[in-house]
Structure 1
């Protein structure tokens, strides 16, 4: 019986004092390129608006100098909206990355397998039944996402194992049920509550301020290190449950932990911006195709998610067809076209 070949270790060794690491130069270079693109998009977002500001005016406003109107426009409205777009996009990109790795399926995205729908159902229930306070709606979205995740996890288990394709199929079914419950809540609600819930459901970054930014920063400061701590085990699970178990990985415990962290990322993003399609689905796939790596690329997925949502926000603000499109509608249109293309290539 021949032994299996050792895994290919990519990258160059880096040693600083007693510490050493292996740097994948392709991944590092791609991260730098994405970061430069992100900075360029951020600059465009701060310059453009109902009142166009020059680059110098924006720079002065960022440091609190210059005209009071410019400072108020940049620091009070444009900068927090941009940061919300970047942080929500990053959260969705990472969530899509871990879910696609967990399910070993390109369709393993929180907006496809029902977790976004569950978070939306929780938020709509809060708005239509109890009243739509910002904090209460955010908490309801988190609770709705977690309840949906537990339901999907339990129903996808068979013989104490959660299969990837079962996770996707069960998630699609649960997502359809959650969407039906949301529609029922909207039908039974009063006009004012239904209108508020419908606006929230369309997904928007309008009116997002510094409290939303700091809540996202706090959530990501906790959740992203947890994801990074789980990446190595998740890469082992990608090689197969038996292989991972043979390497000492507690497969089901890691799978459940990844599921919870991914759902929390999705729920936090949904609580701030409403249901946002496409980003979690596409960001990891674009990264895999550009990086030519099939492994869990968390940082690149975060950067790509931030880029996609920031671009969608620019489109939603500056392309008008008789009305200003909510960002959720823009991403849904793009996401639908992307999903059709993805299925056409694979079928």
Structure 2
């Protein structure tokens, strides 16, 4: 009677994947502190401004009591703005972190690789040729972002075999080229608009929360309710994908389909938000690296909170720190993001692994 052969050895998964799954105490404490800061900023956005709203009156209005003047300020203006800012920041933070993690490049974000400009170009085309506004403008911006993503994936060949680094670098380089072309297209279209339409388009292109409503907040909330669970399922595959295409394939992961699914989720998050708020510059770019520095490693949850904090801070600063002048949130985020981008360029190799 022959002895049974040795049992097959299990597939060894590098320890790094395990470390990415375990929440650290530092990460949990940082996320808790960021969440408390986020709640404080929402309260500041509702209470601070011209006029100031006393805390007790704000609580009574939120509780359902009608107070002339205060009810309009809180429920129809400031609270919807705070809700849109929070949801937009979450969406931008998640979108940027997906791109930066997937492409192993901290400089990769919807702003840099053209997705945001694609959504902006879709909106400006709709304004220039169809006099679109409201819901039509929303759908055109969304379709512009998705079309840009499709072009990116086709030209970069994310579904073709090849080393992970080559695919990632090709995607970023193609994105930068497409972004340059879209920027030129948007500039040309602005010259073809009437003076009033060009002014409206420029205001939208800056990125602003001034037209926030409960309806727009609901659009973002529904989108996040669908996309965040989808992303949470894909994050497990993303961590396996970080081990390299060959290792991921040997573990049974369909690499091209996984990469395309992650890109589509990230693009939809970004394009939907741009359609609602306009392109809030650099929020998606800033959230991921800041969260990484705070937590000591990549964190999608913390990046979402950091994105919301950035947008709320930018909106509060733009509304209250410049005297009688109210600046759109996009101006403030752009002012914050430009020096941070230069700092990142001096410290991070663009072809690195995203460390």
CA pair 183-321 structure 1, distance change in 2 beyond 3 A? farther
Give the one of 154, 170, 183 matched to 1:179: 183
Q: How big is the shift at 1:5?
A: 7.4
Contact 1:64 1:71 in 2 (8 A): no
**In terms of mean alpha carbon deviation, does 75-84 or 184-193 score higher?**
184-193
- 1:195 aligned to 2:204? no
Please tell me the root mean square deviation across aligned C-alpha atoms, in Å: 1.9
Q: How many residues matched?
A: 334
Report the structure number with the largest CA radius of gyration: 2
- Counterparts of 1:263 and 1:92, CA distance in 2: 10
Residue of structure 2 in register with 1:243 after alignment = 247
Contact 1:228 1:298 in 2 (8 A): no
SS at match of 1:53: coil
Q: How big is the shift at 1:322?
A: 6.3
- 1:111 aligned to 2:119? no
Give the one of 302, 305, 309 matched to 1:303: 305
CA pair 173-286 structure 1, distance change in 2 beyond 3 A? same
Give the one of 290, 309, 319 matched to 1:317: 319
SS at match of 2:113: coil
Larger relative contact order, structure 1 or 2 (CA cutoff 8 Å, min sep 6): 2
Q: Which structure carries more strand by proportion? A: 1
- TM-score computed with the length of structure 1 as normaliser: 0.91
Residue of structure 1 in register with 2:94 after alignment = 94
- TM-score computed with the length of structure 2 as normaliser: 0.89
Contact 2:121 2:185 in 1 (8 A): yes
- Counterparts of 1:234 and 1:89, CA distance in 2: 22
Gaps of 5+ in 1: 12-20
Residue of structure 2 in register with 1:283 after alignment = 287
Spell out, residue by residue over 1:257-306, the C-alpha distance to the aligned partner (whole angstroms, 9 max, x if none). Answer: 11111111001110111011111001111111111124xx2211111100
Contact 1:128 1:197 in 2 (8 A): no
- Counterparts of 1:219 and 1:51, CA distance in 2: 33
Q: How big is the shift at 1:6?
A: 4.3
CA pair 223-4 structure 1, distance change in 2 beyond 3 A? closer
- Counterparts of 1:329 and 1:115, CA distance in 2: 19
- 1:254 aligned to 2:262? no
Gaps of 5+ in 2: 1-10, 350-355
- Counterparts of 1:322 and 1:64, CA distance in 2: 32
